[in-house]
Homo-oligomer: A and B are copies of this chain.
Amino acid sequence: MNTPDTPLAGLRIVECATFVAGPSGGMALAQLGAEVIRVDLPQGGGDHGRWPVAPSGASLYWNNLNKGKRSVALDFRTPEGRELLTALATAEGPANGIYLDNVAGRTRLRYDELTERRRDVIHVHVQGKPDGKPAVDYTANAEVGVPDMTGPQDHAAPVNHVLPAWDFLTGMTAATGVLAALHRRAATGEGSGIAVALSDVALAAVGNLGWLAEARFAGRGRPRHGNHTFGSFGVDFPTADGRRVMVLALTPGQWDALCAATGTTEVFKALEPVFDADLSTESDRYRLRDTIEAILRPWFEGRGLAEIGERLDHARVLWGPYRDTHEAATLALADPGSIVTEIDQPGVGAMAASAGPLRWSGSTQPPRPAPLLGADTDEVLSRDLGLSAAELGRLHDAGLVSGPAPSEH
């Protein structure tokens, strides 16, 4: 049923993708109520065992990137398996005919093939580079210049991000593409063949920040500036109890609040004429960032996190504590309003898992477990392609499809 928090209920999406980008895009659609059928090879994709893993050995990565999907396992590298995948991707009915993949190489289903089977099919193809050459988050990031700007100011080498930011952004861009194509299909009856490349997503984003234009005007890339926020005032401070906080003053009001909280209003007022600066402007706060940091640091070094937090909150300073993922997970699990809850994940047991971040009328669908590999093979092939029990038995015997072992059922 289409409820306020399942706006895509009734849609059926066939996903044949591995790792982060494609699967996270498919999961975003599943978290909005669509039925998303992830198709894997019978032994699982290259991501099926990826780290981190649970004590049971099951992948926490796979199980968290495929929550709430259905799983069909079939060998789409064989002609018969490829035909089954094609039939699933182009099944009849207004809910069907939506295919999201990141398959590379000769066996992948191409849009022009799919349109022969269903004229208005929607195909979103996630790839590394727009010409089909391989790229992953870490190479796309290096090539677009972000690691070159990241890290401690005195560090000689580029610093990789740990978060696969481009993968996630590509996945959500692919989800947007699916929905835009659906809008177009509803409006015009036309299908869509769409490609989205990690390297394009990265170029688009650094372009959108003005970084490409900046570099062209400057004739060089921007130098590394440590933990400082570019173009404004924001930096981290250590506390007396071994913690660390990120503190920002992006607006004049936030700057006044920071000065008031730390008792430095008069200090900075006196400093402005010395530096010919107007610290109510972001550009002058950025120019004098090292001085501001040096003046404020003792205030933070002399207090514990709890006192700092109280004082900054009271003065409405924009700040946040640094945490590790353990503290972040533990706090989120203890917060009844959080999107993170513990679910019972087959193959793992109790597992901290997050819901989607879109809150519809204040609520969000709680996270649902990921399927066991092939859990829905028989049901989906029978329901959507009309395969009989005898036909399914033959496919299993031939190793062309797989499902969970009987004990897992």
Contact = CB atoms under 8 A, between A and B. Distances in A.
A324 B51 CA distance: 30
A232 interface: yes
A105 B62 CA distance: 40
A347 interface: no
17 contacts: A4-B184, A51-B230, A61-B209, A139-B246, A139-B320, A147-B322, A149-B324, A150-B160, A158-B244, A165-B169, A168-B205, A193-B360, A197-B357, A203-B328, A203-B339, A215-B324, A218-B326
Interface in A347-387: 348, 351-362
B283 A51 contact: yes
Q: A-B pairs with the 6 shortest C-beta distances?
A: A221-B324, A51-B231, A207-B354, A139-B320, A60-B210, A7-B184
A306 to B, nearest CB: 16
B326 A359 contact: no
A393 interface: no
Interface in A54-96: 54-55, 59-65, 67
A165 B182 CA distance: 27
B51 A332 contact: no
Prevailing SS type, chain A contact patch: mixed
A107 interface: no
Interface string A1-17: 01010011011000000
Interface in A132-175: 134-136, 138-152, 155, 157-165, 168-170, 172-173, 175
Given A324-B221, A360-B192, A205 B163 contact: yes
A144 to B, nearest CB: 5
Nearest to A63: B210
Contact of A8 (B172, B180, B212, B245): B180
Nearest to A150: B162
Interface residues of A, number: 151
Given A54-B217, A138-B320, A179-B179, 10 more contacts: A2-B188, A7-B183, A8-B184, A52-B214, A134-B318, A159-B159, A161-B163, A195-B358, A203-B328, A207-B352
Given A64-B210, A248-B138, A148 B180 contact: no
A113 to B, nearest CB: 15
Instruction: Give how many copies assemble into the complex.
Output: 2
- Indicate the member of A151, A196, A229, A248 with the most B CB atoms within 10 Å: A151
Contacts of A329: 211-213, 215-216
Contacts of A300: none
B359 A195 contact: yes
A271 interface: no
Interface stretch (A20-28, A36-44, A397-405): A20-28
Contact of A50 (B55, B160, B231, B348): B231
B326 A173 contact: no
Contacts of A143: 320-323, 328
A332 B212 contact: yes
